[in-house]
Amino acid sequence: MKKSAFLTITFVAIFVFAQIRESKAQIKLGGGLAFGTDIETLGISARGLIPVTDVIDVVPNLIYFFPNDLGFDIDQRLFEFNGDAHYNFEGNGTIQPYAKAGLNICFFSIDNPVGEEFNETDIGLNLGGGLNFSIGSVETYGEVKYTIGIDQLVLGGGVLFPVGN
């Protein structure tokens, strides 16, 4: 199973990077803030945007949700990696709506005062949408996604800057 997953990821990565080289697309990097409605805490994100075709972008991102004190000296932490694809709808040049779908890998832990620690890793499916706003060469975004399997709605927004030429 691990070998087939590795081969699939390798094939997809080669295909994506071949498309990027051919299209001379503008890669963007940035970050922002996110809010998880299930864990009720704010997070910080790092994000990339890699155009593959005129309408498809690959958008990897990491979100670290700040520790949420549950009381009784019990802390919960959540960190997630998302590998999403965005389908860009026709926009007006300044505002670009998109739909998103992708894979979510969530790392969750709880510490309590007795010294016991609970760790869990879950995999989910992201579904959602958002808007990109162009302000010159800088792009801002706002989005909402629901992660099936994790059962969390995440609201996010931030800024992306062009990298390279």
| Cα–Cα distance for residue pair 46/52, rounded to 1 Å | 20
pLDDT on residue 10: 58
pLDDT digit string (tens) for 98-144? 999 999 999 988 776 676 777 889 999 999 999 999 998 899 999 99
**CB atoms < 10 A from the CB of 122, how many?**
14
Q: Which CATH class is domain 26-162?
A: mainly beta
137, 160 in Cβ contact below 8 A? no
Instruction: Read off the tokens for 106.
Output: 């969530």
Instruction: Read off the tokens for 54.
Output: 């005129």
- pTM of structure: 0.79
pLDDT digit string (tens) for 10-28? 555 555 555 544 545 689 9
Helices (H), the chain: 2-23
Q: Is 7 left (phi over 0), alpha (psi -120 to 50) or beta?
A: alpha
pLDDT digit string (tens) for 53-85? 989 999 999 999 988 765 556 667 789 999 999
pLDDT on residue 164: 77
110, 76 in Cβ contact below 8 A? yes
Element (DSSP H or E) covering residue 123: strand 117-135
pLDDT on residue 1: 47
